[in-house]
Amino acid sequence: MDFRDVVRRRKMVRSFTDEPVAADVVQRVLDTGRRGPSAGFSQGIEFVVVVDHETRQRIAAPAQETLDISGHHNFIAQAPAHIVVCVSPEVYRSRYREPDKGKVRGKIDDDALWVVPYWYTDAGAAMNLMLLAAVDEGIAAAFVGGDGDLLHELLAIPKEFIPIGIVLLGHAAPDAGQYGDVSARRIPRRPYHEVVHEGHW
């Protein structure tokens, strides 16, 4: 599929069938995600893949009240594959203490160096690559937050890793259109000339 078509077709799907996602498809989506940019090639992003039904239900449970209020059903529980995206700030900090990075950073201290926490930037890039890879694979996807404490406990995620959220993979249900982004229906995407500033703001 042409890259521009992949980008245009990417959307958050909020209703899935119970058809499983083939293991090789999940693996290709993950392989794409792990190839995202990484500050200093720190590679501090890791992923937990969850396909077990009971575990997915437990991951989805905290969102039930919010989903009820917003008029959505629990599409998190429906999605047959969850990919929890995790990042370790310490991996990045350690990498930038190594000799080759010392030459680059000079005398910049950690507070100044990490005013922008690039581990979140990299995690977001990995997440977006997986969403695009899902479109290219012909499957549906969404990204949601998660209960960090629950994810740590349930999935035995090391405490130095932060689970930033969950990529949901599956096949769009016939009713997926009615569970689209309510905001997107009310608010059109801002046009190019409003968000791109040439030379200065």
Domains in the chain with CATH codes: 3-180 (3.40.109.10)
Question: How far lies 138's CA from each of 11, 31, 71, 123, 135, in Å?
Answer: 12, 16, 27, 23, 5
Name residues of the chain where pLDDT drops below 50: 182-183
DSSP, collapsed to helix, strand or coil, labels residue 164 as: strand
Task: Note the pLDDT of residue 185.
Answer: 59
Taking only the tens place, the pLDDT of each residue in 2-53 is 999 999 999 999 999 999 999 999 999 999 999 999 999 999 999 999 999 9
Task: Note the pLDDT of residue 201.
Answer: 96
Q: Are 63 and 76 in contact (CB under 8 A)?
A: yes
Task: Note the pLDDT of residue 69.
Answer: 74
CA–CA distance, 138 with 133 (Å, rounded to integer): 9
Q: Which of 13, 35, 49, 53 is nearest to 138 (CA)?
A: 13
DSSP, collapsed to helix, strand or coil, labels residue 81 as: strand
CA–CA distance, 182 with 100 (Å, rounded to integer): 48
Task: Note the pLDDT of residue 71.
Answer: 74
Tokens of 9: 């077709």
DSSP, collapsed to helix, strand or coil, labels residue 128 as: helix
